[in-house]
A and B are shown apart, each in its own frame.
Chain A
Amino acid sequence: MPSETRTVAQSLAQLTLFSDLTQPQLEEVAHTVGEEMFAEGQRVLRQGMTGGGFFIIVDGAAQVVIAGEERVRLGRGDFFGEIAALTGGPPTADVVAITLLRCLTVPGPELEAFLLDHPRVMFRMLQAEARRLETANLWLR
């Protein structure tokens, strides 16, 4: 992965979240989102701390940790940080890179405007959240 040559626009084109966008729209998004990489073991999202962003994994894997305990693993195409960014509260979990991790990012305060500017992305995000709820409901039954 380090000698990655894909552009941000090419990375976006491979993610479900952006699958409804035209090429010019993808390029506009590529200029809007940031790109960050984390070394293995680095913290990406911090439980209880304000000001976190929204992250979409492009390459690598991460673990969601609550009170020191791993709850779930995340990989390519998964996203996190949106709950805290949308509710304005601090994240309720840590997210830690367990491999070299490449993410696209939108700062928390910019997420609302980003979603309003890209309603097809908002719909895809809502769909993913609905699936998460469905899974959670199955667990509760």
Chain B
Amino acid sequence: MAALERPFPPGTYDVVVVGSGPGGLQSAYCLGRVAISRYAVLSRDDSPGGMFRRFPVFERLISWTKPRAPFERDTREYEWYDHNSLLGDEPAHRGLVPSFMDRTFDLPAREEMEAGLRSYVDRAGIVIRYGCVLESVARDGDELVLSTSDGEYRCRAAIFALGVTEPWRPELKGVDLARHYADTGRAADYDGKSVVIIGKRNSGFEVAQGLLPWARQITLVSPRPVQTAVLALSALRVRYLHPYDEYVRGGSGTYVLDAAIDRIERADGGLRVHAEGTTWEGKVELEADEVIVATGFRTPLEPLADLDVATVADGRIPAQTPFWESVSAPGIYFAGNATQGSPGMSKHGGSASSSSVNGFRYNARVLVDHLARTHFGIEPQRQRVALADVVPFLLAELARAPELWIQKGYLARVLTLNGNGSVDEGIQPLAHFVDSAGPVGVAAAVEVAADGAIVPVVYLRQNGRVEEHALPVHPLREFNGPEQGAALEAVLRPLLR
């Protein structure tokens, strides 16, 4: 019997995607639907799913999927209610995660998420070369050369969907005595133990919550105070605030401490953590049977070491332009969780949802359109919008577009206008529209204002200037009402005559 032939043999391609987590899968799906015919998708894994093949440790996601919603699962509008499924152009590829949920929670379990991603690959016919390990990337003239365990791939642009899944440990004396969150193991192994958890963000609180029924004592420690106002609105709140609640109310056995760690050492058959207060004066020694560093993850950028890819957040995340290209290494693009390294305009400190599937699935789609246009001269098909329809079109987007509602203040619906009519330029990074000279146009975005209110905003670009106009809000967030219509009409009047 002939051996099954593996797809995408080494050779020359237009674009190479590396990774088979949700970021890689979304990129591959979109590449398959633009006119870039020569592309390859490589993964070191042996099945799709990326981080969801292993994480989260305690098996429950923190991003919601509503199995029932006012819209059918195969519609674009449903994406707003389903923050975990990948995007499909065809109805049969949409909203796949909820069909695997047992509906104990409106947050899928890890294996339900993994099953949803596997079914996306099957239904959409996404082809991946598995077991192909990226070793290094170099430049040869205009080409990128990707050396892999299977041989050399050459391409003009590459999309790295490598995840943010490499355990990151701070530089700390004795840090090797601690386990990383990724190696937490079974909760039952902590029965009766005293546990110090370094880190007070998602993974720190997730571990603390998971160990509450088992550990004798839990102390969470890190330099920065818990940001209750931020946490109250974060995805973390959905499940993991219990340990903090116990501490604040003076419950015994759970402590949350603001201190910088000086060192971890062996002591009396266990471990001792030396720390110094940051928001209070003094030092403290914490005795522990186990220390877990829940300090997060980083993107594994080692294969890109020769390309000088600039990073932020203590080297954890590649720094990117509004179109997710490395700020220092042209032609190197990112997809997936790493796209949090392209923060956008961050108006009023608002952040995009690029570190979770709900947000980065849109980034990948916008990126593939951008690559097709800028590297291969492929203009996407654009719909014309009659001048009389511009206001209702934008209002409908402001009211319902999942891209705008999930990537708030980050992605925008863009129309260009001229005397004869208007062209729908699709979804674009807001920072790109605002900062680039271009034809007369309007961008519509949903944003979070300084006071936390969700506001519809339009940006008008003409004569090389961009003006910002906030439209009226609505208590039920019906941004397609008569009041918004009148305000938008007034803003656009000079252009629609």
Instruction: Kindly identify which residue among B260, B310, B467 contacts A27, using a CB–CB cutoff of 8 Å.
Output: B260
Instruction: Kindly identify which residue among B224, B310, B468 contacts A4, using a CB–CB cutoff of 8 Å.
Output: B310
Q: Does A37 contact B (CB under 8 A)?
A: yes
Contact mask for chain A residues 52-80; partner B; CB cutoff 8 A; 1 contact, 0 none: 11000000000000000000000000000
**One of B5-13, B343-351, B399-407, B472-480 at the interface:** B343-351
- A36 with B312, Cβ < 8 A, contacts A24-B223, A28-B223, A42-B435 known: yes
Interface residues on chain A, size class = 35 or more
Give the contacts of A23-56 with B (CB-CB under 8 A).
23-25, 27-28, 30-32, 34-39, 42-43, 46, 48-53
Query: Smallest distance from the beta carbon of B463 to chain A beta carbons, Å?
Result: 12
Contacts of A37 on B, CB cut-off 8 Å? 310, 312, 319, 327-328
Q: Are B435 and A28 in contact (CB under 8 A)?
A: no
Q: Does A134 contact B (CB under 8 A)?
A: no
Q: Are A107 and B348 in contact (CB under 8 A)?
A: yes
| Residue of B whose beta carbon sits closest to that of A40 | B327
Interface size on B, residues (CB 8 A): 40
Q: Does B1 contact A (CB under 8 A)?
A: no
Instruction: Kindly identify which residue among A5, A24, A49, A108 contacts B434, using a CB–CB cutoff of 8 Å.
Output: A49
Q: Does B140 contact A (CB under 8 A)?
A: no
Q: Does B308 contact A (CB under 8 A)?
A: yes
Contacts of B279 on A, CB cut-off 8 Å? 28
Bound Cα distance A111, B176 (Å)? 36
Give the contacts of B281-332 with A (CB-CB under 8 A).
308-315, 319, 321, 327-329
- A42 with B321, Cβ < 8 A, contacts A27-B223, A31-B224 known: yes
Q: Are B349 and A53 in contact (CB under 8 A)?
A: yes
Q: Are A4 and B349 in contact (CB under 8 A)?
A: no
Q: Does B143 contact A (CB under 8 A)?
A: no
Q: Are B327 and A108 in contact (CB under 8 A)?
A: no
Query: Smallest distance from the beta carbon of B43 to chain A beta carbons, Å?
Result: 27
Q: Does B277 contact A (CB under 8 A)?
A: yes
Instruction: Kindly identify which residue among B259, B310, B314, B450 contacts A108, using a CB–CB cutoff of 8 Å.
Output: B450
Query: Smallest distance from the beta carbon of B24 to chain A beta carbons, Å?
Result: 24
Give the contacts of B362-388 with A (CB-CB under 8 A).
none
Chain A residues with CB under 8 Å of chain B are: 1-5, 7-8, 23-25, 27-28, 30-32, 34-39, 42-43, 46, 48-53, 88, 100, 102, 105, 107-110
For this complex, 24 residue pairs linking A to B, each with C-beta atoms less than 8 Å apart, are A4-B311, A7-B314, A24-B260, A24-B278, A25-B278, A27-B278, A28-B258, A31-B223, A36-B343, A37-B310, A39-B327, A42-B321, A42-B327, A42-B435, A46-B434, A48-B467, A49-B347, A49-B466, A51-B345, A51-B346, A51-B447, A107-B348, A107-B349, A108-B450
Chain B residues with CB under 8 Å of chain A are: 171, 222-224, 258-260, 276-279, 308-315, 319, 321, 327-329, 343, 345-350, 409, 431, 434-435, 447, 450, 466-468
The 5 A-B residue pairs whose C-beta atoms are closest, nearest first, are A107-B349, A51-B347, A37-B319, A31-B224, A28-B278
